[in-house]
Amino acid sequence: MFSALYKANLYLNWFGFFKVPLIWSCRPKLLALTDQHVEIKIPLKHKTKNHLNSMYFGALAIGADLAGGFLAMHKAKSKGVRVSLAFKAVEAQFLKRPEADVHFVCDEGDTIEKMLDDTINTGQRVNRAVKIIATCPSLHGDEPMAEFSLTLSLKCHPSPNH
């Protein structure tokens, strides 16, 4: 009845509202979600702007966090495993002021798949960098506004079914 993307957006809103209210305050929306790719939009609004009327650094970090983290959680759920997810490091290059809604894209499905396989097989925490690109399609098409490299850290927890 409801699409997988609609359900994923409901979960994102629930998670933001109840678990991490700062995420919810940015009003992110999933635009695309596959096993290899995620695209999340954060609107440029009063709560996400800085004094230069571009997206605030903190809102950009939230978008990058969501893009890498949501793809990992989606892939773990599709494998039927519970994972502990954290980010251990961040590198960012801010290339141009994002003066409109920002789209965060992560195409690291293969990297995350390998990480999940490694943690499932070893029971150990696995850390790898994932890349997220931030764009403002309404103003600059696919030109990057910022590039993030986040060190994603995953550890599989045994579920009662395994």
pLDDT digits (tens, 9 = 90+) for 76-90: 999 999 999 999 999
* Amino acid letter for position 30: L
Report whether pLDDT(159) > 70.
no
Q: For the chain, which domains are there?
A: 4-157 (3.10.129.10)
| pLDDT tens for each residue of 120-141 | 999 999 999 999 999 999 999 9
Whether residue 161 has pLDDT greater than 60: no
Helices in 2-126 by DSSP H: which ranges?
Answer: 4-18, 21-25, 57-79, 109-122
What's the average model confidence in pLDDT over 55-62?
Answer: 97
Average pLDDT of span 138-160: 92
**Average of per-residue pLDDT across 85-101:** 96
